[in-house]
Amino acid sequence: MSQYKTYLMVLLLSGVSSYVLTPFVIRLAIRWGAVDHPGARKVHHKVMPRMGGLAVFLAFCAPWVGLYLIDNPVSAAFRDFEKRFAGMIVASTAMLLLGIYDDIKGADAAKKFLVQVMAALGLWMCGVRIDDIALPWGLTLTQDWINLPLTVFWIVGVTNAINLLDGIDGLVTGVTAVMAICLAVINILSGNILIALLTLSLAGACLGFLPYNHSPARVFLGDTGSLTIGMMLAVIGIFSLFHEGRQTAGPLLSVPLILFGLPLFDTLRVMVQRIARGKSMFEADKNHVHHLLLEMGMNHRQAAWTLYAVAAGLGATAILLSRLEHGRQLIFSVIFAGLAAGVYAVWRLRLRDHFLEADEPAPPSK
C-alpha cells in the first residue's frame, strides 16, 4: 500500500507544481516575447503566450529533487539509475532550450533535427539504449551494431511526432498524460517501480498544465513543451519497453508501436502524403488528423477529446498485450492491425464523402 501512496504523491506533486508554476511562465513568456501570432496555418485568432512547456518540465523535475533528501528503497534505486536519469534530464534540457529559442526567435527544421540527433547520441552514450527488441517466435534483436541507429531513430522520431501533433488546444498535454498513465500501468504491473514514477511525474505535470491549455487555451506549450515532452516520452518508452534492465521480459515490438500509435501514425501519414505531392517532408500544412477533425465540423474540445479517446484505446490495448505471452501477443497484434486498418478505411471514406459534399454547389434558390 505504501508503494501506491508513493505513486499518488508523485502524481500530485508534479500536478500541483505545474498548476502553480504556469501563471508565472505565462508572464515570463509575454515579457520575453514568446508569443504566437495568428496565421493561415494557425487555428487560433489572437496573440497567445507560448513557452508553457517550461512549467511542465520544472514540474516533472520537482518530485525527483526530493529523492536526494530522503533515504528509502526508492531513493536507493534512483541512485543506481542516476547516470541514465541525468542523461534524460540533460537531453530534455537541450530540447527545452531549443524550444525556448524557437518560441522567441524561430529555428529552422535543420537546426532542430541536428540538436535532436546530438541529444540522442548523448543519451546512447549515457546508456539509454534500445538493447533488445522482442520479435515473433521467440526471436530477439540484440546486435550491438544496430542499437545505436535504432535508438537515435526512435528518440528523434517520437520527439518529432509529439512536436507535430501539437496543433490544437490541449492536444499534446492530454494525449501525453493518457500515454504516460498507460506506460505507468505497464511498469507497475511489471514491477518497474522507478520507471512507473517517471511516467507518473510526466502525467502529473501535463495534467496540472492542462487547465490552462485546454480549449479555450490561455497558453500554448510551444516548441518548448512539445519538443521536451517528446524527448521525455521517447526516453521513458525505451526504459519501459526496450531496455535490458527491465524486471520482466520485454513485450513484442507491436506493444510500443500500438501505445505510441497516434503520434507516430499521424506523422508517418503526413510525411508520406507530402512526399507523394512532391513537397518537402518538413513543409508545414494543415493535413494532420486534428486539422481534419476540425474540417469535419468538430470544435477544439471535441477534436481533442476524440483523440484522447483514441490514445486511451491504444494504451489499453498495449497494456493488455503486454500481459500476454509472446505467442498470444502476436495473434492479438495481427487481429488489432486488421481492425485498425478497417476503422481507418471507414474513416477515410467518411472523410472523402464529407469533403465531396462540401464541394458540391448549392442548389439554385427559387
Q: What is the pLDDT along the chain (366 residues), one digit of tens a residue?
A: 566 778 888 899 999 999 999 999 999 999 999 988 776 555 556 788 989 999 999 999 998 876 666 666 666 667 667 778 888 999 999 999 999 999 999 888 888 999 999 999 999 988 888 877 766 555 566 566 678 888 999 999 999 999 999 889 999 999 999 999 999 999 888 888 888 889 999 999 999 999 999 988 999 999 999 999 999 999 999 988 776 544 444 566 778 889 999 999 998 888 888 888 877 676 667 778 888 888 888 888 999 999 999 999 999 999 998 888 777 777 787 888 888 888 878 877 776 766 666 555 544 544
Strand partners, 252: 134
pLDDT tens by residue, 250-300: 566 778 889 999 999 998 888 888 888 877 676 667 778 888 888 888 888
Give the pLDDT of residue 84.
81
Instruction: Give domain limits for the chain.
Output: 2-359
Instruction: Provide the whole-model pTM.
Output: 0.87
**How is residue 9 written as a grid cell?**
504523491
d(Cα 210, Cα 225) in Å, to the nearest integer? 12
Phi, psi angles (nearest 5°) of residue 140: -135, 130
The answer to whether 95 touches 234, Cβ cutoff 8 Å, is no
Q: Pick from 145, 83, 92: which is nearest to 120 by CA?
A: 92
User: Which one-letter DSSP state was computed for residue 251?
Assistant: P
d(Cα 210, Cα 22) in Å, to the nearest integer? 10
Give the pLDDT of residue 245.
47
Q: Pick from 91, 64, 98, 73: which is nearest to 204 by CA?
A: 64
Give the pLDDT of residue 107.
84
Q: E strands along the chain, which residues?
A: 35-36, 48-49, 133-134, 140-141
d(Cα 244, Cα 221) in Å, to the nearest integer? 33
